Amino acid sequence: MGTTRREFLKSAAFGLGGLRLSRVPFERGSERLPGASRPVVVSSANGLRATERAMEMIRGGADALEAVVAGVNLVEEDPEDTSVGYGGLPNALGVVQLDASVMHGPTRGAGAVAALEGIRYPSRVALAVMRYTDHVLLVAEGAKRFALEFGFKEENLLTDRARTAWLEWRASLSADDDYLTPEESGEPIRGFGLTDAWDGTRTYGTIHCAAVDAAGNVSGVTTTSGLAFKVPGRVGDSPLIGAGLYVDNDVGACGSTGRGEAVMKVCGSMLVVENMRRGMPPTDACLDALGRIVRNTVEKRLLDAGGRPNFNVNFYALNRRGEHGAAAIWSGSRFAVHDGERSEIRESAYLSRGGRG
Ligand code: GLY
């Protein structure tokens, strides 16, 4: 007969289950780590406000995960940011589908949602998955049902701007379908007074934010609307633990933005954290993982004339001592950091000089 989880934990508490209580993750919640310094918050370039909010909260005594989630919520709710949450660019059918993950270093906790529709704050739903279930990842209808059960409000996330961008993208697809291209119709699409809402590139969007507090405890979050106009149901790297986010409280944190498919295939964020575990500084750890992505990119459709990836990937890393850095395949990328003194945007390191930001 099987043992229920409740019975197992109970027997473990008495030393009968092969698991000593000292090894149950939530027992580690308040550990003070050697080598800790002042709090540091790192984010992708669209997260300057997130770093400020997170630092303010950490200084006020908040848990680092609460702080970074509150930070990215500012971007998730911003209709002007078309890469995340409310206002994010939709999938090929015009439906906004969101991915997010969180990891909490001190409790070794993780939670994530993928292809979530109708909920503005996927990062908060991921946090609820971590806190209130025995699972790590909920997807699609199940994720939405869970969110509604926990009181999240359902709303239409497709803003007029994102809808117009989608209409423009759809019209541009083919001269053989029944949606007229701008050349055929002779005029731009006008959606609620907006024209030219789409700049012609399919972005991967995303915000990542990670923090280390004064005790050296590390947490992180990654949240996105994913690849613009993706195949419905497509899931990127952001909600996948080890790909778009990885935190190990013994080492540090990493998150990614850019082409999720490339990050997923090398377990990118975990690779960066493992590089740091072996002693690499954060920026070097990111560059090494990007090199792995470049070596693994062999598909002709993904290479430029020089045989280099025709896409970009960014990694953002910090260790428990507060050392931090970011790197991208192509030059021109930036990241946001609050280093304990000020928040600012900095240039990322890169593998190749070029213009893919
Ligand atoms: N990195 C975000 C995505 O690929 O969905």
Residue 36: what pLDDT?
Answer: 54
Rg (CA), the chain: 21
CATH, residue 346: 3.60.20.30
Query: Per-residue confidence at 37, pLDDT binned at 50, 70, 90?
Result: low
pTM for the model: 0.88
**141 lies in some domain:** yes
Atom in ligand 1 nearest the alpha carbon of residue 230: 5
* Position 278 pLDDT exceeds 80: yes
Domain assignment present for residue 138? The answer is yes
Q: Is residue 183 part of a domain?
A: no
What SS3 class is residue 208?
strand
Cα separation, 228 vs 166, in Å, equals 8
Active site includes 206?
yes
Per-residue pLDDT band at 25 (split at 50, 70, 90): very low
Cα distances from 337 to residues 80, 209, 351, in angstroms, run 21, 9, 21
* pLDDT, tens digit, 9 for 90 and up, residues 205-261: 899 999 999 999 999 999 999 999 999 999 999 999 999 999 999 999 999 999 999
Ligand 1 centroid, distance to 123 Cα (angstroms): 15
State mean pLDDT over 131-150.
98
The verdict on residue 164 lying in a domain is: no
Catalytic residue among 206, 222, 223, 257: 206
Is the CB of 204 within 6 Å of ligand 1? yes
Residue 298 lies in a domain: yes
Contact 237, 264 (CB under 8 A): yes
- pLDDT at residue 19, as a whole number: 30
Res 92: pLDDT:
96
- Ligand 1 center to residue 232 CA distance, Å? 14
**CB-ligand 1 contact for 44 (6 Å cutoff):** no
* 341 pLDDT above the threshold of 60: yes
Compute the distance between CA of residue 129 and CA of residue 150 in angstroms, rounded to an integer.
10
Report if residue 165 sits inside a domain: no
pLDDT at 6 over 70: no
Confidence of residue 85 (pLDDT cuts 50, 70, 90): confident
- What confidence score (pLDDT) does residue 198 get? 77
pLDDT, averaged across the chain: 88
Residues sharing a CB contact under 8 Å with residue 99, sequence separation 6 or more, in sequence order: 112, 113, 114, 115, 116, 122, 223, 224, 225, 226, 235, 236, 238, 239, 244
Q: Which ligand 1 atom is at minimum distance from the Cα of 258?
A: 1
Which residue segment(s) compose the domain that 134 sits in? 29-158+203-352
pLDDT at position 303 over 50: yes
227 CB near ligand 1 (under 6 Å):
yes
Sign (positive or negative) of CA dihedral 127, 136, 321, 237? negative
- Does the CB atom of residue 224 touch ligand 1 within 6 A? yes
The rounded Å distance from CA 180 to ligand 1 centre is: 29
Q: Whose CA is nearest to atom 4 of ligand 1?
A: 260
Determine the distance separating the centroid of ligand 1 and the alpha carbon of 315, expressed in angstroms.
Answer: 12
221, 223, 238: which to mutate for ligand 1, most atoms within 8 A of CB? 238
pLDDT at 81: 81
- What ligand 1 atom has the least distance to the C-alpha of 226? 5
Q: Provide the number of structural domains found in the chain.
A: 1
In a domain, 15, yes or no: no
pLDDT score, position 8: 36
Of 148, 122, 108, nearest to 222 by C-alpha is: 122
pLDDT, tens digit (0-9, with 9 covering 90-100), for 147-188: 999 999 999 999 988 998 999 899 889 888 988 887 788 777
pLDDT at position 194: 63
In a domain, 174, yes or no: no
- Rounded distance, CA 45 to CA 203, Å? 14
* Cα–Cα distance for residue pair 338/329, rounded to 1 Å: 23
Ligand 1: centre distance to CA 3 (Å): 39
